[in-house]
Amino acid sequence: MLQVDAEWIGERAAPRATEIEKGAIRQFALALGESDPVYFDEEIARRAGYRSLPAPPTFPATLPSNPVPGLKLPRAGLIHGEQQFVYGAPICAGDVIRVSAWLENVKVRRGSRGIMSIVTIAREGVNQEDVMVFQARSVLIANEGEI
């Protein structure tokens, strides 16, 4: 069962830092079916204006954050309803990205299958220069059944 405390809306989890590795970028690009050599060859990436291998656009989805304050997600039955990204500076191999997450909104609605909790989780990543590299919003839906 989804447990959420709306009093925590806006309270950010402590940032969690991840160093971006070339291998992780290459593996992610391969998984996407990318063939652009900018994701695989550092010299080509530098000639294209990057500091090192750039991460593909949806790479931030792989970056971990600390648990969202006031939110405990169920192990099953959760629907990922929506995902949005806003991009800032490019993420490149060697960057250290600090990701923080927070509860942005909670709604409770009655649907055809009973009560649903609709939760919006926001995440933001900044690099080692304190420059925003991404902002993301995920809308999660938990069917709570009849109450």
The DSSP symbol for 59 reads G
pLDDT for residue 78: 87
Domains and CATH numbers, the chain: 3-20+64-145 (3.10.129.10)
Which residue, among 6, 49, 41, has the nearest Cα to 22 in the 3D structure? 41
> Mind listing the pLDDT tens digit for each residue in 72-100?
887 777 889 999 999 999 999 999 999 99
Cβ contacts of 55 within 8 Å, gap of 6 or more: 20, 25, 28, 90, 91, 92, 93
Q: Is the pLDDT of residue 145 over 70?
A: no
Backbone phi and psi for residue 37, each to the nearest 5 degrees, phi listed first:
-65, -15
Q: CB count, 10 Å around CB of 97?
A: 21
- Per-residue pLDDT of 27-70, as tens digits, reads 999 999 999 999 999 999 999 999 999 999 999 999 999 999 98
Please say if the pLDDT value at position 147 is more than 70. Answer: no
pTM score: 0.88
pLDDT, position 98: 98
Q: Looking at residue 1, what is its pLDDT?
A: 64
